[in-house]
Amino acid sequence: MRVGFIGLGNMGAPMAANLAKAGHDVFGLDAAGATAEGVKQVETIIDAVVDMDCVITMLPNGRIVKEVCEKALEHMVSSTVLIDCSTIDIESARAVHAACASKEILSVDAPVSGGVGGAQAGSLTFMAGGSQDAFDKAKALLEIMGGKIVHCGEGGAGQAAKICNNMILGISMIGVCEAFALGEKLSLDPQKLFDVVSTSSGSCWSVNTYCPAPGVGPQSPADNDYKPGFAAELMLKDLLLSQSAAELVDADTPMGERAAGFYQKFVDNDGTGKDFSAALEFFKSAARGDSNG
CATH number of 2-154: 3.40.50.720
CATH superfamily of the domain spanning 160-292: N-(1-d-carboxylethyl)-l-norvaline Dehydrogenase; domain 2 (1.10.1040.10)
82-117 b/e with 16+ CB inside 10 Å = b? bbbbbbbbbebbbbbbebbeeeebbbbbbbbbbbbe
Check 66, 137, 162, 237 and give the catalytic one: 162
Greatest Cα pair distance, the chain, in angstroms, is 64
> Catalytic: 139?
no
Q: Where are the domains of the chain?
A: 2-154, 160-292
DSSP string covering 140-203: HHHHHHEEEEEEEESTTHHHHHHHHHHHHHHHHHHHHHHHHHHHHHTT--HHHHHHHHTTSTT-
Residue 183 exposure: Cα atoms within 13 Å on the Cβ side: 19
Residue 245 sits at the vertex; the CA angle it makes with 136 and 68, to the nearest 5 degrees, is: 55
Q: Do strands 106-109 and 81-84 pair parallel, antiparallel, or not at all (unpaired)?
A: parallel
Closest CA to 241 of 256, 262, 231, 255: 256
pTM (2 d.p.): 0.92
pLDDT for the residue 116: 87
SS3 278: helix
Residue 258 exposure: Cα atoms within 13 Å on the Cβ side: 11
pLDDT for the residue 293: 55
Tell me if 15 sits within 8 A of 5, measured CB to CB. yes
Burial class (CB in 10 A: 0-12, 13-18, 19+), 78: exposed
Count the helix, strand and coil residues of the chain and give each as a percent rounded to the nearest 5.
Answer: 55, 15, 35
Below-50 pLDDT ranges, the chain: none
